[in-house]
Structure 1
Amino acid sequence: MAPTETPPAKPGRRARLRLLSAGYRDLLAVPGVGRMLVASLVSKLPLAMITLSLLLYLGPRYSYATGGLAMSCMAVGQGLSAPVRGRLMDRYPYRPILVGCLVLYLVALGALTAVASARGPAPLVLVLAAVSGVTSPPVGIIMRTLWRVLVGERQLVTAMALDAATSDVVHITSPALAAWLCLSLSGEVAFSVYGALTVVAVLLVLSLPNAPLPTRRAGSGHWAGPLRSAALRRLLVTHAAFSGMITAIDVVISLLNVEQGTTGYIGIQIGALSVGSIVGSLALGAFPGLLARGPKLSALIGVFAAGVVLLAATSQLSPLAMTLACPLTGLAYGSTFGALFTAGGDLAPEGNAAETQAWMGSLTQAGAAIGAWAAAEAGGLTALYVIPVIAVLSAVLTWNIRGPRSDRDLPAPTTTT
């Protein structure tokens, strides 16, 4: 009697968990990655907390309009100056630039706190807020560029997914931490903490293994920098639009709950969006092959559009139904941002890696500002109906964007005699 073959056993639960975590274990085994993740978290916290703290600190001393204007001045200063700092880092070693920005930032932040504490002139407070934004150490720009250098292409998607998850953790925790520091302790203590966290983040980056940023070769400069790439310009437009849509959803959730008299759900629903984003980022980071460039980016934006449609439908049912839909709506948040930043690095022309990431950071802020304004103007339901349309257009815009980077769309270099 012929022996019967025994079918292979299915992998057990522990084996499946090991398979899921293999990518993260390999990533964390790379020298410097642990410090990168800590630096990422520590650097994002003060940036997320300081704007709310400006409002809470300056409001009682001047007016909440002045506090809001100071928030805008700091954001504008940071956003407009980021490409300049990025271009400097493409041309010169990043360590002196990082230390120089840190010193100027601490001076500006200390002066801002001192003037506000003494109830000095409001225009001076606004100027110092802008200077604080201009001198903010470019830790985020450096880290998004160093990820590619430290971990290589094979583990880059997992690294970016994990970095996106830290952003969502900060998004959930920073409002409560900022309010507690300002209201339970004092504004002076809060700004001292932000300065200390920034120092720690800079020191962590400086302590990383020697991994210099890609530098621009002599004669390879162009006045437009990375913006001379047509494919990258399309990606930047999509990136700004996505940032605007994400912020618009937060505004829409607030408006709808105010209209329905269910304001207690606002924080819960916005937090649920971030929880969904964390889950989506970590899941796709465990399977980096699913986050390939090109059409997969469009597919992620399509998943986001479907989530917004679900949110719009449940908003007409009950606050509870809308709350349950929020994690599904947020599922593609972090993974899409990770894919956008990764594609930006792929498309960055040679010698423009840092400036490209700086432009993406600036457009994140610009898109968020426009999205918040547009959602407030359009109203809750109208915005929810428009966002999926913009998302589909964004998916079409990025459909044929491919990595790795290519210079086929760049103008031919000019020669001089």
Structure 2
Amino acid sequence: PDASPTPDASPTPNPSDTPRTSLIRTGGWPFLITSFIGRVPASTLQLGLLLYVSASGLGLGLGGLTIAAIGIGSALSAPMIGRLADRYGPLPVIASCTVIQVLGLLGIYTAVNGGAGAPVVLGCAAVVGFANPQTGPIARAHWSRLARQHRTPDLIRTALGYESAVDELGFILGPVLASLLVGLLGPNPALWVMLAFTVLGQGLFLAYLATRRNTRTPRETTSPEGERIRLPWAAMWSPVLSVFAAGTTFGATQTALTAVFDERGRPELTGLVYGCVGVGSAIASLLVVRLSPRVPLGVRVLGGGVLVLIGGLAMMTLPAVGPAIAISILLGLGVGSIIVSSYTRMEQIAPSRRLSSMMTLLATGLTLGISAGAAVAGWLAREPAHGFWPTAVAGVLAIVAGVSFRFGRARD
């Protein structure tokens, strides 16, 4: 199938024919607050488990592989979780994921302190990733349904920018929180706090979902005409590749920065500097949605790739903290532009009864990128400057994806 919207998707009205809709009025404060809190544990666990494994004396290399195992597990389960959420609703899916994730974290604690060895640690980390409840993609799918119900195209543009900004705010708070916990409390107490926060954060979102039974997606697997829903596979590879590049930037940068500041004897600065990537990405997420629709999505992805490439090369100079913060913000601006544009494109082509599935497909690409970036950077970071090579390569991948956005389709 081509890149045109499927028959299942509702037609998008002319923005001039519909009033601008408030996110607060449409989504409600309970949804805005709990969906944000519910995704912060995932960003805390990413860097938190890397620091936990490294601080427990098992080495930065195994720490990078731990993040990779989390990402691989999440990537394997994300399409299934999206499909289950489309069919049964997010409440039972997220509840089950939370229970499994807690068991995985307990397994990591037992393996590290019992001397069980790297394979057991990595296996438990994969379980933690496999049980990632995909709160962000599920929240984006909810916004898309609201926009289609209310026929307000400006709502989804604003909501996707907001969602990306919220994701990045989580990626600011999560690494900083993880660094502080491990640095101040030590590895084992920090892991217990992260476990408790996982239960609390995702539990609050579950409490919201329990009061809203209308978040369930219709269970039909066929279109109104009786035909099976066909996914626009040919149009999907470009946004998946672009979010893979964004994920590679995240994974490689956080691992390489960990190596740099460990060598300098200042590991507590890792979360602060890496959190600035999230600052830049949040800023970009809010600004990109205000660009004129005449600026094609592919051009936005291409521009983001250029910024990531420049930032990755600049990080190889191993700058001092001040310049590293500035470069991190630059990286974030590029990543934010890439992510918002990718989710916007996927929302445009997604059939209405496959919203969660297709949003979690992007989450798969993102987590695979984080895994690849963290694993390769962890291997290269024996020389800290080399750990930023995957970041630069990610910029090139985003440029390729941007070109395919711009020239590989009939329209953005």
Answer yes or no: same fold by TM over 0.5. yes
1:397 corresponding residue in structure 2: 404
> Is 1:86 paired with 2:82?
yes
- Give the distance between the partners of 1:53 and 1:254, measured in 2 at CA: 11
Match of 1:211 among 211, 215, 219: 215
1:10 corresponding residue in structure 2: none
1:8 corresponding residue in structure 2: none
Tell me the number of residue pairs that the alignment of Structure 1 and Structure 2 aligns: 373
1:369 corresponding residue in structure 2: 371
2:3 corresponding residue in structure 1: none
Structure 2: which amino acid aligns with 1:283? Answer: L
1:334 corresponding residue in structure 2: 336
Match of 1:244 among 248, 271, 279: 248
2:176 corresponding residue in structure 1: 176
- Give the distance between the partners of 1:71 and 1:329, measured in 2 at CA: 20
- Give the distance between the partners of 2:398 and 2:141, measured in 1 at CA: 27
Deviations, residues 330-372 of structure 1 (Å, cap 9, x unaligned)? 3242243122112112222453222211211111011223334
Match of 1:132 among 128, 131, 137: 128
2:357 corresponding residue in structure 1: 355
2:167 corresponding residue in structure 1: 167
- Give the distance between the partners of 1:89 and 1:160, measured in 2 at CA: 19
Conserved in 2, the CA contact under 8 Å of 1:91 and 1:215? yes
RMSD: 4.0
- Give the distance between the partners of 1:113 and 1:141, measured in 2 at CA: 26
Conserved in 1, the CA contact under 8 Å of 2:176 and 2:271? no
Match of 1:76 among 59, 72, 78: 72
Conserved in 2, the CA contact under 8 Å of 1:31 and 1:209? no
Identify which range, 266-275 or 137-146, moves more after superposition. Answer: 266-275
1:3 corresponding residue in structure 2: none
Conserved in 2, the CA contact under 8 Å of 1:281 and 1:334? yes
2:236 corresponding residue in structure 1: 232
Structure 1: which amino acid aligns with 2:372? Answer: I
Identify which range, 367-376 or 72-81, moves more after superposition. Answer: 367-376
Deviations, residues 252-271 of structure 1 (Å, cap 9, x unaligned)? 66778899999998666534
The verdict on how the C-alpha distance between 1:262 and 1:402 changes in structure 2, with shifts beyond 3 A counting, is farther
Structure 2: which amino acid aligns with 1:195? Answer: V
Conserved in 1, the CA contact under 8 Å of 2:249 and 2:308? no
Deviations, residues 43-74 of structure 1 (Å, cap 9, x unaligned)? 22211112333344455667346655544433
The verdict on how the C-alpha distance between 1:321 and 1:93 changes in structure 2, with shifts beyond 3 A counting, is closer
- Give the distance between the partners of 2:239 and 2:35, measured in 1 at CA: 23
Conserved in 2, the CA contact under 8 Å of 1:216 and 1:352? no
The verdict on how the C-alpha distance between 1:119 and 1:403 changes in structure 2, with shifts beyond 3 A counting, is farther
Identity of matched residues, %: 25
- Deviation at 1:188? 2.4
The verdict on how the C-alpha distance between 1:363 and 1:316 changes in structure 2, with shifts beyond 3 A counting, is closer
1:45 corresponding residue in structure 2: 40
The verdict on how the C-alpha distance between 1:143 and 1:119 changes in structure 2, with shifts beyond 3 A counting, is same
Match of 1:279 among 283, 296, 310: 283
Conserved in 2, the CA contact under 8 Å of 1:52 and 1:178? yes
- Deviation at 1:76? 2.1
- Give the distance between the partners of 2:390 and 2:71, measured in 1 at CA: 24
- Give the distance between the partners of 1:42 and 1:176, measured in 2 at CA: 15
Structure 1: which amino acid aligns with 2:198? Answer: Y
- Give the distance between the partners of 2:263 and 2:115, measured in 1 at CA: 39
2:158 corresponding residue in structure 1: 158
Paired residue secondary structure (1:37)? helix
Structure 1: which amino acid aligns with 2:364? Answer: S
The verdict on how the C-alpha distance between 1:291 and 1:166 changes in structure 2, with shifts beyond 3 A counting, is farther
> Is 1:196 paired with 2:200?
yes
Q: With a CA cutoff of 8 Å and minimum separation of 6, indicate the structure with the bigger relative contact order.
A: 2
- Deviation at 1:299? 1.9
Gaps of 5+ in 1: 1-21, 405-417
Conserved in 2, the CA contact under 8 Å of 1:113 and 1:188? no
Paired residue secondary structure (1:217)? coil
Paired residue secondary structure (1:136)? coil
Conserved in 2, the CA contact under 8 Å of 1:27 and 1:151? no
- Deviation at 1:303? 2.6
Gaps of 5+ in 2: 1-18
- Give the distance between the partners of 2:274 and 2:105, measured in 1 at CA: 32
Compute the TM-score of the two structures, normalised by the length of structure 2: 0.73
Conserved in 2, the CA contact under 8 Å of 1:214 and 1:353? no
Compute the TM-score of the two structures, normalised by the length of structure 1: 0.73
- Give the distance between the partners of 2:138 and 2:391, measured in 1 at CA: 35
